[in-house]
Structure 1
């Protein structure tokens, strides 16, 4: 089975979050893309570290391939465990992928 490119993108951000000891925050789509941050979702948006963007299509596929709550999946030979939840920053929603 071919690896979904979206999961490879998610794995890159999960690695960054593991190195930082924080969560991945995927902001709600705006103009066809989603901003990706690393940080503590319980703090203000200004405390998050911007890491780049992914297309809305990639974001949608990530949401389809993961579920709310606990997840465990192997991506490119590495097992990732995380909890997917939702939050809200100022004027937009976000999905949080917290290491578990």
Structure 2
């Protein structure tokens, strides 16, 4: 297998591994993962309830927008059930608006 044929698999693995890290954090706290696309090159990652104000959320890092695009490609709007790193995750992917920025919300199902 040449490197170009491995690339899509490697990208999906990195995207889903990153998503699983934040899903684990959100499960521990009983909140959602909220990716706010506030920068041209990256999205801020928050944990919280998307129905509450952003002041109530906890910022826990950022993800490159290229990786966010890969996460969106590997998931679908609505209910998802994926095995990531040997663990099965069931979550709902929705969208919301945070100020002037779009946001993607992942909520455990």
What's the TM-score, normalizing by structure 2? Answer: 0.87
Q: Secondary structure at the match of 1:5?
A: helix
2:86 to 56, 77, 97: 77
Q: Which residue of 2 aligns with 1:90?
A: 99
Q: Which residue of 1 aligns with 2:5?
A: none
Q: Which runs of 5+ in 2 are unaligned?
A: 1-8
What number of residue pairs does the alignment pair up? 100
Larger Rg: 2
Runs of 4+ in 1 over 3 A off after TM superposition: none
Q: Which residue of 2 aligns with 1:34?
A: 43
Q: Which runs of 5+ in 1 are unaligned?
A: none
**Offset of residue 31 of structure 1:** 2.9
C-alpha root-mean-square deviation of aligned residues, in Å? 1.2
